[in-house]
Structure 1
Amino acid sequence: MLPAAGATMMGIMTNKQRKGRSALSGMWANMGSTIATFMFAWTIIRQYCPLMLNGFFEKYTRRLMAYFYPYLQISFHKFRGGRFRSSEAYAAIKAYLSANSTKNAKRLKGEMGKDIRSLVLSMDEYETVTDEFQGAKVWWLSEKWLYAITFHKKYREIITESYLEHVLSKGKEIISSKRQRKLYTNTSNDRIPIHKQAMWSDVVFEHPATFESMAMEPEKKREIVEDLLTFSKSKDFYAKVGKAWKRGYLLYGPPGTGKSTMIAAMANLLNYDVYDLELTAVKDNTELRRLLIETTSKSIIVIEDIDCSLDLTGQRKKNTEKFSDDENEKLNKEIAKKKAKEDGSKVTLSGLLSFIDGLWSACGGERLIVFTTNYVEKLDPALIRRGRMDKHIELSYCSFEGFKVLAKNYLDFEMHPMFDAVERLMGETRITPADVAENLMPKSSLDDAETCLSNLVQALEEAKEDGAKKEKAAKKKHEDGKEKDTTVEDAALEEAKEKGAKKEKAAEKEHEDGKEKDTTVEDAVESQVNEEAK
């Protein structure tokens, strides 16, 4: 009997399990069909309902859900202002979460750190991590171009008044400590709409130049460093006097005198980013203004060789001279050639002046604007006047003090018997710091300090000889020009004398002919009178 009873019980339990599974399956089937019906109806409504009615449904559906859903969400987008302008809040949140999410997030992305040897981990896209602050729990979601924070509405005041301020503050500290300085250049792509393209592209700035390694006189170097450091600490002063917190520097001098190196040393001294602006790639003044807006604080905006950039070097002349037909034709050809060359850019001098110190130049702060040129005399005075280019720095040929800095850098000593010869030759000829550095650089493992200094002395002697030959040639050309001018003057004087003699002779002949004619007329009149009297 026991086995029979056990079999009966097992049968009953099996039937119940089958009925339960059947009921569960039926419930899921009904739920699936209900969801499918709802989705179909919602699709039909969205497709065929008028847009205004559709917006009405969405508006009140969200309001209805808000009564039952107790969580709030705040989004922080990567770009702001309706254009590709980076948000500082987004960057601070990214830094904060990168430092606090590596232990909790399951999907991370890695980037190179400041020293190019460390790896910085941050949340990957569509990853969620949690954080707690004063008993309030929050959820951070990372999407493609935004971060979203979700929290219970009872913690609204804690999150909005304290937590977010805490996140931004910590994020900025992390950015400052791990900040990579960047070198930017402006980009232009006609195929992409302006509002969808980034205005600048960047690489990590790793130039090693410092003021200590520059070939300059110590006093001049000290003056520039003090000027830069004073500017970086003068935020309150600029606000007090009512000026935008910016300063212009004009670096001028022959090629090879260290203008680009000076810019790198400035950036390293102040820990600023560098924006290398290529004017020929800028379409017009409006795009130039957008580029200015996209730059950040703590930056140097550089326009190198501005005397070669577009038509910005000539003074605004008033042409009152009258040219011959040949000269006019030649002038028109030059103008047409220049216009064809600059057809891709319509940046004007007035647009650049507005860029430097117009109203838009006050957007942001703590910025340096640096121009470099080989020929300062070619630039329009309005472009380089004080207030635009506040400090003019001439970088000229290498002096003996500059040579000693380079000798210390390249050969690692401060005195040598050959220094006297170098000093004497540098007083007699001119050589750029770039040429000095090239001669001091060892060309093989066998080159020692003696060899390098001998190379420099030889280069100085050759430069001296070349200078003497050029001076002699220039002197001879000048003398030949004077002789030629004298010959031309004598020939012109002789020609003028001949012309004068010819004119005088023609006048005398004409006078004599006139007298003969008058005599003939008088005789004819007298003869006629006599005949009538008879």
Structure 2
Amino acid sequence: MGKGLDIDSKAFVYYRLQGSHNSQFTYFSFSISIPYQFRSSIENYSQKLLTFVYPYIQISFNEFTGERLMRSEAYSAIDTYLSSTSSLQAKRLKADMVKNNQSPVLSMDGHEEVVDEFQGVKLWWKTSDEKRFYKLTFHKKHWDLIIGPYLKHVLKQGKAIEVKNRQRKLYTNNGSNWSHVVFDHPATFQTLAMEPDCKEEIVEDLVTFSNSEEFYSRIGRAWKRVYLLYGPPGTGKSTMIAAMANLLGYDIYDLELTAVKDNAELRKLLIKTSSKSIIVVVDIDCSLDITGQMKYPRQKGNEDGPQTIHVTLSGLLNFIDGFWSACGGERLVVFRTSFVEELDPALLRKGRMDKHIRLSYCGFEAFKVLAKNYRKIECHDLFPRIQDLLNEVNTTPADVAEHLMPTSASGDPRTCLESLILALESAKQAKDKELCCEEETT
């Protein structure tokens, strides 16, 4: 019936788009033969017409990418981003429990679709049946907005939510690798025993740093900041680092230099650290001698003396502000020492250590923080006596906390304060006696 009919290419294209709605064209589909030389032109024409009729673009983001089928960071960020809005729209949700038995995090289950809006433009996210990919659909006229600002916004917000919800970790080095445990230290700046003005200054500096990605990019510097914490033992250096991590939501990498054999291994460790982290160099005064070489304690069977490992001062400086220091982003490097006077001047020069923080002996304001933390008291008739003694005696927050810690939860606060006063008076007497002896000697 269809033999001998002459139908032009336009009619054929119309069949491809509309034939399913008209049985007449279905008949012709089995009887029309298109010459090979015209097929490419017809195909291009049909695609253009299809684009005109359906002006939407779809982009798929697969869960696994690459030869090793690694989980895509983009997919993870999108999944987390959509979890913040999908619970309000999707009818099928998947629940995941998070740390500390908090409320579950809800995300889209398979074959669901939600609508998002960005700068007044609507777009659609859809999951596959088994949730192996996300498909983004949007109008082609918004290509530049979606491919640029919108996807950047989605990935940034998704990663920020991941950091907030993730279980943070405390890492320690073993050779060129890191091992970790869950980081769950309760320290905060509210509970930190130090002068309020100093705390406020440090918090402001940390928050400013964490919000300065654009600034560091504009001035051409790696997004990092180096702190030096110094002061007598027991003044709260480790607690300060934990409070920093809790304030910013960072992981902690506790770097033990005496476990690093050379500069190359130090670089490998640095490369493996993640962004949004604090790299802590422990007791730098005990790890590095004046020649810049690391010293290991003598090992059994080694009669030639201490083993010297070649992590040099120059290697450490390159770790701080050389090329390798730019690996990753949004990181703090914190050096901790009890004897700052023993450090090499090259470590302390301006531009290398961005901020020096001295943690000193316990003053009265720091004591009041401890009294509130340990005994839930903000005022007491013994406070004036304690204030006078703290002005005359050097004692660390750790020593004060030892007296405020009761043997039982129902311990009498007065008993604890009296115990502290006795200890401070004893220290004052010892100090007075020492001064007296020095005067007699001179």
Change over 3 Å in CA distance of 1:164–1:240 after alignment to 2? closer
Query: Is 1:179 equivalent to 2:143 in the alignment?
Result: no
Contact 1:185 1:278 in 2 (8 A): no
Counterpart residue identity of residue 393, structure 1: I
Distance between the aligned counterparts of 1:89 and 1:291, measured in 2? 25
Query: Is 1:376 equivalent to 2:354 in the alignment?
Result: no
Counterpart residue identity of residue 128, structure 2: W
Contact 1:181 1:271 in 2 (8 A): no
Q: Give 1:187 shift.
A: 4.3
The residue number in structure 2 matching 1:241 is 219
Which shifted more, 348-357 or 280-289?
280-289
Contact 2:280 2:334 in 1 (8 A): yes
Structure 2 matches for 1:275-424, cutoff 5 A? 275-309=253-287, 312-314=288-290, 336-339=304-307, 342=308, 346-424=310-388
Change over 3 Å in CA distance of 1:375–1:131 after alignment to 2? same
Alignment RMSD? 4.4
Distance between the aligned counterparts of 2:201 and 2:365, measured in 1? 16
Q: Give 1:413 shift.
A: 2.7
Distance between the aligned counterparts of 2:179 and 2:372, measured in 1? 37
CA-to-aligned-CA distance 1:400-433 (integer Å, 9 cap, x gap): 1211221222222332221121122222221100
Query: Is 1:441 equivalent to 2:405 in the alignment?
Result: yes
Q: Give 1:118 shift.
A: 4.4
Aligned residues: 366
Contact 1:96 1:167 in 2 (8 A): no
CA-to-aligned-CA distance 1:294-330 (integer Å, 9 cap, x gap): 2232221111212222xx242569xxxxxxxxxxxxx
Contact 1:251 1:259 in 2 (8 A): yes
Change over 3 Å in CA distance of 1:466–1:79 after alignment to 2? farther
Distance between the aligned counterparts of 2:259 and 2:107, measured in 1? 35
The residue number in structure 2 matching 1:218 is 196
Counterpart residue identity of residue 355, structure 1: F
Change over 3 Å in CA distance of 1:188–1:407 after alignment to 2? closer
Q: 1:188 aligns with which of 171, 174, 185?
A: 174
The percentage of aligned residue pairs carrying the same residue is 52
Q: Give 1:235 shift.
A: 2.6
Which shifted more, 163-172 or 372-381?
163-172
If the length of structure 1 is used for normalisation, what is the TM-score?
A: 0.57
Unpaired segments ≥5 residues, structure 1:
1-71, 318-333, 480-534
CA-to-aligned-CA distance 1:321-374 (integer Å, 9 cap, x gap): xxxxxxxxxxxxx994332xx55xx42221111111011212232211101001
What is the DSSP-based 3-state SS (H/G/I as helix, E as strand, rest coil) of the residue aligned with 1:424? helix
Counterpart residue identity of residue 258, structure 2: T
The residue number in structure 2 matching 1:202 is 180
Change over 3 Å in CA distance of 1:443–1:279 after alignment to 2? same
Query: Is 1:429 equivalent to 2:403 in the alignment?
Result: no
Counterpart residue identity of residue 236, structure 1: E
Contact 1:247 1:388 in 2 (8 A): no
Contact 2:193 2:367 in 1 (8 A): yes
Change over 3 Å in CA distance of 1:348–1:274 after alignment to 2? same
Distance between the aligned counterparts of 1:292 and 1:231, measured in 2? 20
Contact 1:354 1:361 in 2 (8 A): yes
Q: 1:453 aligns with which of 409, 417, 425?
A: 417
The residue number in structure 2 matching 1:10 is none
Structure 2 matches for 1:479-494, cutoff 5 A? none
What is the DSSP-based 3-state SS (H/G/I as helix, E as strand, rest coil) of the residue aligned with 1:240? helix
Contact 1:411 1:440 in 2 (8 A): yes
Change over 3 Å in CA distance of 1:284–1:93 after alignment to 2? farther
Distance between the aligned counterparts of 1:468 and 1:75, measured in 2? 74
Pair member with larger Rg: 1
Contact 2:292 2:312 in 1 (8 A): no
Distance between the aligned counterparts of 2:336 and 2:149, measured in 1? 42
The residue number in structure 1 matching 2:239 is 261
Distance between the aligned counterparts of 1:79 and 1:426, measured in 2? 63
Contact 2:234 2:396 in 1 (8 A): yes
Change over 3 Å in CA distance of 1:186–1:90 after alignment to 2? farther
The residue number in structure 1 matching 2:50 is none
Q: Give 1:446 shift.
A: 4.5
Distance between the aligned counterparts of 2:171 and 2:325, measured in 1? 19
Q: Give 1:283 shift.
A: 3.5
What is the DSSP-based 3-state SS (H/G/I as helix, E as strand, rest coil) of the residue aligned with 2:101? coil
Distance between the aligned counterparts of 1:335 and 1:385, measured in 2? 39
Change over 3 Å in CA distance of 1:473–1:140 after alignment to 2? farther
Distance between the aligned counterparts of 2:156 and 2:325, measured in 1? 25
Counterpart residue identity of residue 290, structure 2: G
The residue number in structure 1 matching 2:7 is none
Distance between the aligned counterparts of 2:327 and 2:200, measured in 1? 30
Q: Give 1:204 shift.
A: 3.5
CA-to-aligned-CA distance 1:493-523 (integer Å, 9 cap, x gap): xxxxxxxxxxxxxxxxxxxxxxxxxxxxxxx
Distance between the aligned counterparts of 2:265 and 2:373, measured in 1? 43
Q: Which has the higher helix share?
A: 1
Distance between the aligned counterparts of 2:393 and 2:124, measured in 1? 76
Distance between the aligned counterparts of 1:472 and 1:353, measured in 2? 46
Change over 3 Å in CA distance of 1:395–1:137 after alignment to 2? closer
The residue number in structure 2 matching 1:116 is 101
Q: Give 1:379 shift.
A: 1.3
Unpaired segments ≥5 residues, structure 2:
1-58, 116-122, 294-301
What is the DSSP-based 3-state SS (H/G/I as helix, E as strand, rest coil) of the residue aligned with 2:374? helix
